[in-house]
Amino acid sequence: MLTFFTRKIVDIIFNNLYDKKRNSNNFIGVVFVGTKEITNPDSLYYSVDDVVMERGEGIYLYDQEGNEYIDCASATFNLNLGYGNKEVIDTVKEQADKLIHVTSSFQTDAVNKLAEKLVEIAPDNLTKVHPKVSSGSGANEGAIKMAQYYSGKTDVISLFRSHLGQTYMTSALSGNSFRKEPFPPQISFGLQVPDPYCSRCFYNQKPDSCGMLCVERINDFIEYASNGKIAAMIIEPISGNGGNVVPPKEYFKQLRKLCDEHDIALIFDEIQTGFGRTGKMFAADHFDVKPNMMTVAKGLGGTGFQVAATLTEDKYTGLPGYTHSFTYGSNVMAAAAACKTIDIMQRPGFLENVTTVGHYIMDRLETMKEDFAFISEVRGVGLMIGVEIVKENNEPDVELTNYIAKRAMDYGLILRTSRYGFGNVFKIRPPLTITLSEAEVLCYRLRKLLEEIK
């Protein structure tokens, strides 16, 4: 880790560069903003940012003007190995020369190998893999179907401010009204309960004395707000888009106990937390709790390949495969990419680097918290970090958070916010390949941005 003395030297050097070369394309510290006018093409259904990205390398993106950005969001939190990872790309090229895709009704070496690797690295009770999906939403829906099919029960519990996907079922189960408002009633079996957001506790409790009231009260929701037939509870171990909230360890122990008492399948949505993001292969490894099922996607593709799966205990495998099977599920090229991704992450030092760099960034952010009154909390594990922005009265400052994210690109950073939470958290989740020296540049650029706002 960089020493205090080394950090000061780096800051002095970067400050000089910042003063002299703010408008230079060659400046490593701050992005140069081009002047080319770009508008959205008429053929696109939706609006997009005016910036046109041209290429990526490692943690960096480059636009058509040649401007450089550190991607603090790893695209959509899915490029765990960064842009253009050569090993993964070469593996996919080799696979493409032999077979690009085939119906999942047939076996392929790549998919068989991926299933074996997933079982090898997952909690030891998860022994079966359903790979016939191609998205996190599909993996989550598959897990819920498996639980319903096995138990004969219907209802599903999820959390306030959760983000479980964009399909009808997963949108309905996600914990935000704006996700559901434009559409007719979607499903009848969803039940949301308060999330373990300790600094903004729904029950106005303190974590050192609450007795995990947020878990205890789930019994009331089961008794009075459901039909009593709960098939599953699906939860992100660390909220992905709901504010980067890290629950207390005791929360999961109590939740596991509650699910066992009610014969409820506990599903961990590890779509954002999985594959090294937290410094361990899965977030479940931090909390000493074994879920009955686990869903994976995003980072499994390493450098951008679309792949997903549902991992389950043996008893939940009764659901016929054809009842939850998608055209591009079990894609051979994506499976090959995923296998190589896991190989890379299992190498000595890979996960340790995530922890080391994560600690470094957290330390720098804690220092920024002392210097900027609008930062109320810095939280996270590994390279899954959130920074909460507040007003003077400690209320969420969504406007300022959005402004920070918007201005970030002028400082060579790409930031995303917690739209599915209170909307006042920006996230630091760069590719896991980031080095300490690259983290130094990231923190330098962020401080310069926050100083402007202050």
Whether residue 41 is found in the same domain as residue 54: yes
Q: Write the DSSP assignment of 302-355 as a string of letters.
A: TTT----EEEE-GGGTTS-GGGG--TTTT-HHHHHHHHHHHHHHTSTTHHHHHH
Whether residue 280 is found in the same domain as residue 165: yes
Q: Is residue 77 part of a domain?
A: no
SS3 259: helix
Find where tokens 């999906």 sit.
133
Q: Is residue 334 part of a domain?
A: yes
CATH number of the domain encompassing residue 441: 3.90.1150.10
Structure tokens given for 171: 């949108």
Q: Is residue 395 part of a domain?
A: yes
Residue where a domain terminates, one of 302, 323, 345? 345
Q: Is residue 182 part of a domain?
A: yes
**Residue 167: enclosing H or E segment and its boundaries?**
none
pLDDT of residue 179: 72
How far from chain centre, in Å, is Cα 379?
14
Whether residue 359 is found in the same domain as residue 316: no
Residue where a domain terminates, one of 345, 370, 386? 345
147-191 per-position pLDDT tens digit: 999 999 999 999 999 999 999 899 889 887 777 777 777 677 899
Whether residue 9 is found in the same domain as residue 133: no
Whether residue 239 is found in the same domain as residue 97: yes
Whether residue 170 is found in the same domain as residue 229: yes
Q: Are 295 and 139 in contact (CB under 8 A)?
A: yes
Q: Specify the pTM.
A: 0.90
pLDDT of residue 308: 98
Q: Are 388 and 425 in contact (CB under 8 A)?
A: yes
Q: Are 165 and 171 in contact (CB under 8 A)?
A: yes
Q: Is residue 76 part of a domain?
A: no
The range of the structural domain enclosing residue 116 comes to 86-345
- Which residues, other chains included, contact 30 with Cβ-Cβ below 8 Å and sequence gap of 6+? 18, 21, 22, 410, 411, 412, 445, 448
Whether residue 207 is found in the same domain as residue 356: no
The CA distances from residue 214 to 147, 155, 162, 196, 207, in Å, are: 23, 19, 15, 7, 10
Whether residue 319 is found in the same domain as residue 420: no
pLDDT of residue 235: 97
Whether residue 49 is found in the same domain as residue 173: no
Whether residue 180 is found in the same domain as residue 301: yes
Structure tokens given for 286: 């931090």
Cα dihedral 55, 57, 63, 64 sign:
negative
Q: Is residue 80 part of a domain?
A: no
DSSP annotation of 271 reads T
pLDDT > 90: percent of the chain:
79
Residue where a domain terminates, one of 297, 323, 345? 345
Helices (H), 372-435: 398-408
Q: Is residue 214 part of a domain?
A: yes
198-233 per-position pLDDT tens digit: 999 999 999 889 999 999 999 999 998 888 899 999
Query: By CB neighbour count within 10 A (0-12 exposed, 13-18 middle, 19+ buried), where does 125 fall?
Result: middle
244-271 per-position pLDDT tens digit: 999 999 999 999 999 999 999 999 999 9
SS3 125: coil
Cα dihedral 407, 412, 418, 424 sign:
negative
CATH number of the domain encompassing residue 226: 3.40.640.10
- Per the structure, the count of domains in the chain is 2
Whether residue 227 is found in the same domain as residue 149: yes
pLDDT of residue 10: 45
Radius of gyration of the chain (CA): 22
Tens of pLDDT along the chain (454 residues) come to 444 444 444 454 444 444 433 333 333 344 444 444 456 677 877 778 889 999 999 999 999 999 999 999 999 999 999 999 999 999 999 999 999 999 999 999 999 999 999 999 999 999 999 999 999 999 999 999 999 999 999 999 999 999 999 998 998 898 877 777 777 776 778 999 999 999 999 999 998 899 999 999 999 999 988 888 999 999 999 998 889 999 999 999 999 999 999 999 999 999 999 999 999 999 999 999 999 999 999 999 999 999 999 999 999 999 998 899 999 999 999 999 999 999 999 999 999 999 999 999 999 999 999 999 999 999 999 999 999 999 999 999 999 999 999 999 999 999 999 977 789 999 999 999 999 999 999 999 999 999 998 7
Q: Is residue 126 part of a domain?
A: yes
Whether residue 93 is found in the same domain as residue 198: yes
